[in-house]
Amino acid sequence: MIEPLLLLSILGPLVLALALSLRLITSERAVAYVAESAGAMSAFTSLASVVIWLAHGARPLLTAPHVLFEHAGYRFTFQLGLDDDSVIFLILVQFTTGMVLRFSRFYLHREPGFRRFFATVLMFQGAMCVLTLAANLDLMFAGWEMVGFSSFLLIAFYWERHSPVRNALKTYSVYRVADMGMLLAAGLAETSNHRALGLLLLLAAIGKSAQFPFSFWVPRAMEGPTPSSALFYGALSVHAGAYLLLRTAHLWDDVTLVRICMAAVGLVTATLCSMFARVQPTIKGQVGYASVTQVGIIFVELALGLRAVALAHMVCNALLRCYQLLVSPSAVAYLLRRQASAGSAQRIGHPRYARLVRSWISPLYVFALSEGYLKDTVKLAIWSPLRRLGRLVLPWRTALLAMGVLGTTIALALAPRTSHRWALVVGWGFIAQALLCSGTGLGSWRKPVHAMAWVSASSIAIAAAVFVISPAHDTFAGAVYAAAVAMLCALGIAGTSMVVPGGRSIARFAGFSEVHPLATALTLVSALGIAGFPLLPTFLGEDLLLHDTLRVSMAASVLITGVLALNGYLAVRNFAFTFLGEHRPEEPSRRGAQVGRLIEGSLEECRTAET
């Protein structure tokens, strides 16, 4: 009885989110009614399953495992679990989501993106239910991916402006780093290497929960509507990393190194973000950094083994920050009225400890105002080398492509007859080829058709590398992923070619979604597939690739995962640059305008002469 109820709590919001996305329901009243009904149905079925679970003794429960896919030792199993931690977090998910859905019906009244907002929130609700109830890391990663992409969509909700889309891409880039840790951890879930597994889970949690050094994206993620900020970065999404560590504590609890790293990250985050919160110019930024500060303390509690305290802290912090963000517009309006009536000249007191650090106040203020230079450090460490690589390879792109095609043909023909050491060398060559193609795609953003083609070439090179490295030369894994990526990249190339024919250049955030809805839909599906979105074949393809390479080389698996994460980000960025933003009709060139003025002047002279 419990399993059907849990399935209904997951599938209900997801199915109705799809219906809203397909514009099957258009009127605002009907959209609000459907969204609230879906949220209430999911909450009611979750509560009913919890009541039945309590009636049967409240013992840890696992539903029957359903094998959705199996090949050569790899198995993707759909199995849900209920225990004390998951029940409490599930109730938190349903309560806060229902409250935000009800609040948003009035807050977003007559908003142009009303239907799109509720569709994304329902997708987030279903994804959080999957993340909360999943009994294995593979299924948890499916919910993890959906949560990340729904976050991107809601940060970029006001897509006609450049700033929300740019900040959504910054947040999504951090999420892709977290996805690397989660994907590798899912591949290592059945091994006994708990040290590597714990560190990878910690990396995933750091990115999703905005811990050091990835804390800088929190105030930038507040570009979306206030209800989504309350739900994502006050209540649920920002706590997803801590919940991941809580649910997987049995995998890393006996590894001292993981616990030391977790405590260090939490302490540094709590110290820095408490400073950052004090100098934020917006109330949403202050509440966001305050929430991240408390999550850092939760990391410390988990490292010390205080799991019950961490869970209680998580629930209390989520409810408080969600409430603070929901009332933040009213609080700002009240303070402005109070300032206008009482005057702005008010005495501001200084804390007692300020006298002890008086000489350090100015440097600390500048350090906090610049958010510890974390954004610049991450940009310098990750993105700047990739951009330099792209600029370096771009002039030699034709030779790179020809070399890749020739090398792939020769390697696929000779791989079954070569030694393991030589196959590993060739596989590393393909990984380097894929990285160069990704760098070229990163540098070709002005030409979206070319960028999509380079992402496709990089993904196919990764499939070839896995085929060569795999000890059994598993054709199935490489063929499945390569075929899926080729099909999805063809969709993306077709979509971008509709709006940018002939590989023309575009400006950043060209906003073609306003005039080309079909091309927008095709390119969005392509970007989702390349990013490994669940329900698309590339999601299982990525798992198959890592399942084959993790048995051979951990270093190669890390690089392959990094290239896959980078390609997913590039596909989403290519979509955002092409279709999001404000569309402006092309203006005539300066030379064309001069010629037009000359022609008009000549015609005017002819009319004067005739007169």
Using alpha carbons, list the distances in angstroms from residue 95 to 120, 121, 123, 363, 490.
17, 14, 16, 43, 42
Is the pLDDT score of 266 beyond 80? yes
Residue 379 tokens read as: 């940009």
pLDDT of 549: 81
Burial class (CB in 10 A: 0-12, 13-18, 19+), 369: middle
Separation of alpha carbons 611 and 608, rounded Å: 5
Of the listed ranges 56-65, 366-375, 405-414, 451-460, the least confidently predicted one is 405-414
pLDDT of 385: 82
pLDDT of 193: 84
C-beta of residue 545 within 8 angstroms of C-beta of residue 130: no
pLDDT of 336: 76
Is the pLDDT score of 608 beyond 50? no
List, for residues 122-160, the tens digit of each pLDDT value. Answer: 999 999 999 999 999 999 999 999 999 999 999 999 998
More confident residue, 531 or 586: 531
Average pLDDT over residues 303-321: 95
C-beta of residue 541 within 8 angstroms of C-beta of residue 487: no
Model confidence, pTM:
0.90
pLDDT of 581: 86
Is the pLDDT score of 74 beyond 90? no
Buried b (16+ CB within 10 A) or exposed e, 62-83: ebeeeeeeeeeebbbebbbbbe
pLDDT of 208: 93
List, for residues 388-416, the tens digit of each pLDDT value. Answer: 877 777 777 677 667 766 666 666 565 55
C-beta of residue 299 within 8 angstroms of C-beta of residue 293: no
